[in-house]
Amino acid sequence: MIYIFSAFYAEAKNIIDHYGLKKEKSPEMVRFDVFANESIRLVITGVGEINAAAAVSNIGGAYGISPDDEILNMGCGAGFSSDICLGSIFLGNKLTEQMTGRTFYPDMLMKANFRECEIVTVARVLNEGCDSVVYDMEAAAVYQAAAFFVGPHRMHFIKLVSDAGERIDQSKITELFALQEDKICGYIDRLLSACVDKAPMDDTQSSWNMDRLICDMRCSKVMGDQLAQLIKYCRLGGIDYKAVLDEYYTNGLLPCESKREGKKCLFELKQRLL
């Protein structure tokens, strides 16, 4: 299941229409509007960190978000530099909560045809800011609440630049998202493919299997989840990951001697395979 969290209906309308999401008669404990089909559940959170965190927690408890689900925070934001034009979309590779200074890093396992940037989550609307940064009011809160249910490799943050701090009509927001619908839905389609592909990996022709690979790379639980997700995306994309891993074993790069070496090995695999 993919859980999409957006602050406004205007941000989500095109996605709701594209996937034929219907307003759900939710459990009594749910306090937010939910639109769903068999694979996607989209939630309108309201504006701000408190609303966003409450929505993720409420939905996670009511529906039972599992570690295999994907979390997508999709919404609009403000940009203040000349290279961030109105209507452009970005994928967040770093989230900063302005109020506390805390930073969070989603794992960027799935490549997308989006520019990447830092997203700074603020408590109020700004009329100025730093270059090459998109400002929003929910992302850091979504990350922190979602971390109780999924790992950072299953969190995704897409932001469309809708303004430079000025008020903007809701209909204009919907129009801007309509222009980027194909790209955003393409990203969601890739997440859907990753979710529905449950076929077991056939590694019988290689010198390794998934359990051995996790052990040989000295993976923690989070690293093991990242590695499994990496292999899944490679399978979906037709990437010959088996040849690369066989090469690592042949050249003595696996097994790793320590967890530190394992982290380095996982990073290098991401660079080679994605």
**Which pTM value belongs to this model?**
0.78
For 106-163, the pLDDT digits (tens) are 988 777 788 999 999 999 988 888 888 999 999 999 999 999 999 998 999 999 999 9
* Confidence tier at 222 by pLDDT (50, 70, 90): confident
Domains of the chain, each with CATH number or no CATH: 2-197 (3.40.50.1580), 210-273 (no CATH)
pLDDT at 203 over 80: no
DSSP conformational letter for 45: -
pLDDT, average across residues 251-265: 92
So what's the pLDDT on residue 3? 98
- CB atoms under 10 Å from CB of 97, counted, come to 20
Are 75 and 124 in contact by the 8 Å Cβ rule? The answer is no
Please report which helix (H) or strand (E) contains residue 102, including its range.
strand 102-104
Phi, psi for 70 (deg, rounded to 5): -110, 140
Of 38, 13, 35, nearest to 22 (Cα)?
Answer: 35
* Confidence tier at 205 by pLDDT (50, 70, 90): low
So what's the pLDDT on residue 209? 81
pLDDT at 200 over 50: no
For 4-59, the pLDDT digits (tens) are 999 999 999 999 999 999 999 888 899 999 999 999 999 999 999 999 999 999 99
Taking every pair of Cα atoms in the chain, the longest distance, rounded to a whole number of angstroms, is 60
So what's the pLDDT on residue 130? 86
